[in-house]
Structure 1
Amino acid sequence: MAEAVLRQATYADLEAVPEHRVAEIIDGVLETHPRGRPPLLGATAFSLAALLGSRMPRRRNDPDAWIFMSRSELRFGPQVLVPDLAGWRRQRLQTEPQDAFITTPPDWVCEIVSPATVRLDRGRKRRIYGEAGVGHLWLLDPAAGVLEGFALADGRWVLLATIQRGETVALPPFDAVPFPFDDLFPFDDPAAPALPET
């Protein structure tokens, strides 16, 4: 008996997804998840983007400048990914993309892990980022209060460090601008002892 051949998702399939969902094509499969994130995830992503954007050079003529984008569509061949945050060294992304997507792999990606995305973020998306040559990947889980920093070495992801609430983040490629991990969270750590009332 012949096996059924799965139809590969197309960009038309992706475009047909309702606006309230994020859509990606991963290994030929259309993957979707809710666009509206729990407030903690959105606030944490915004805090990280604002913190890095304020500490890293962004001037056009600075060789160390970075360009940061959130939820930009990346295309690596047939793969269509939408990372929560991505950063390019300006020397690698010198002109504004003319399409609604970017084909130049970022130097850094951060995925904000949630129950709806953890399977993809830790699995197939991580593999695809490595295949595309993304140099650094951060997986940030706001609910658990954990940040994992990975670097690509010889085509494999190497875990550099796991940061927890109360610790300092000094992870490549932004290890020159360390910051308290707790600065990313708008609310107190629920596991921390309560501060005395004054």
Structure 2
Amino acid sequence: MQLIYAAASPFARKVRVLAFETGLLARIELLDTAVLPTTLNERVNALNPLGKIPVLLSDGGEALYDSRVICEYLDTLHDGARLLPQDDTRWPVLRLAALADGLMDAALLARYEKAVRQAEQQSQAWLEGQLGKVQRALAELERQADRLQGPVDLAQIGVACALGYLDFRFADLDWRAAHPALSRFQQAFAQRPSMLASAPA
């Protein structure tokens, strides 16, 4: 298998952490590429019409995207406990994983607004709208922080990668100050070998 990814992408990090946690990382060739909304990457576009990473090429040569699909696919390839449960606990895990993905989406859009668009093209209202989504997601994750306990699952991985992205790109938000339970979760989860190995530089 091959994973086309960018080291700074929290969505790609989520896939790499899940692959590490399930023992599948050694089966995946990692192909690092940087893809911005303004960058035309023909290989990525040929594999994913949306031009987004990560993209996983399965052993059969099929291109899988986005990170949610890739994670679910990888979770079927190992013999350990499923990180996306198949019983009634599946729905709370999926809901928290979706909230983490939404947080990452909003943070990435805010990042692109500041880092990619020319200053005269930037919209403060757009930026504030995306950061408002981030803040609301953090508040809800804090409220549900007790669900981020127990055996590792896809929700925990997604939340940890989302919070790690905030640390990496939005240190000035100081999200920990108002979210102590999330801060404790992140402090512990960030020490897992899978997180240390995938930390953006």
TM norm structure 1 = 0.29
TM norm structure 2 = 0.29
Q: Give the strand-richer structure, 1 or 2.
A: 1
Higher relative contact order (CA 8 A, sep 6+): 2
Give the structure with higher Rg (CA). 1
